[in-house]
Amino acid sequence: MNTVKKTIVGLTGGIGSGKSAAAKIFLALGVEVIDADALAREVVELGQPALSDIAAHFGDGILTTEGNLDRAALRSIVFSNPEHKSWLEGLLHPLIAELLQRRLDATKSPYAILESPLLLETEQHKLVQRVLVIDADEETQIARALRRDGGDEKTIRSIIASQINRDERVQRADDLVPNEASLEQLKVNIEALHSKYMEMVTE
């Protein structure tokens, strides 16, 4: 029997570009959205084998007193040592990719969205048929991230520097949605794309 591969659209963009805002609009249109960030947290929840592996490798210092992952402790270990970082990514990325694939396979809407800030930086782009980039200039990204999370501009700039650069991201887009105007404008643009995707999958 021939199985037709379901269309998955990868939704990505830099920090504060508006990925989650776009994802919400798709959800309201009845499109299922799988959130790679949420799933990445799920694989290291208490009781998950990956959490025990991480504690066995780095020691119980990366656990909180309740036995959960102490993200700040882990971050400081891996940021200061590239070998630790690649060990951790070698453990987590395949687990995340496998679970993402299962969740995407289980979606029921005519097409589904994979929302991921690291779609193009990791192998996750191999799970999707199209890449949708939400794009905003750096000043807009910083202003939004500060408004949303507080924190300081320097940290946000260093996160932007650690992500794929804007030109490359835009070049790899099959669909590009500029998001420097209002949320209403974003809604109009996402609704137009939704019509296009629905036509593509029902052709």
Residues that bind ligand ATP (CB under 6 A): 13, 15-21, 117, 144-145, 148, 179, 182-183, 186
Record the tokens describing residue 152, joined without a space.
């300081």
Could you give the CA distance from residue 57 to residue 8 in angstroms, rounded to a whole number?
Answer: 35
Find residue 178's DSSP bridge partners: 135
Q: Which residue has the tokens 């949320």?
A: 183
> How far apart are CB 203 and ligand ATP at their closest, in Å?
30
Question: Are the C-beta atoms of 200 and 7 separated by less than 8 Å?
Answer: yes
Furthest C-alpha separation in the chain: 55
Residue number with CB closer to ligand ATP (10 or 117) = 117
Residue number with CB closer to ligand ATP (18 or 74) = 18
> How far apart are CB 3 and ligand ATP at their closest, in Å?
32
Residue number with CB closer to ligand ATP (62 or 132) = 132
Could you give the CA distance from residue 160 to residue 162 in angstroms, rounded to a whole number?
Answer: 5
For residue 158, CA distances in Å to 26, 75, 142, 155, 165 come to 30, 14, 11, 5, 12
Residue number with CB closer to ligand ATP (6 or 24) = 24
Residue number with CB closer to ligand ATP (164 or 200) = 164
> How far apart are CB 17 and ligand ATP at their closest, in Å?
4
Q: Which residue has the tokens 């007193």?
A: 65
> How far apart are CB 202 and ligand ATP at their closest, in Å?
28
Could you give the CA distance from residue 166 to residue 14 in angstroms, rounded to a whole number?
Answer: 8
> How far apart are CB 6 and ligand ATP at their closest, in Å?
24
Amino acid symbol at 184: E
> How far apart are CB 184 and ligand ATP at their closest, in Å?
8
Residue number with CB closer to ligand ATP (10 or 18) = 18
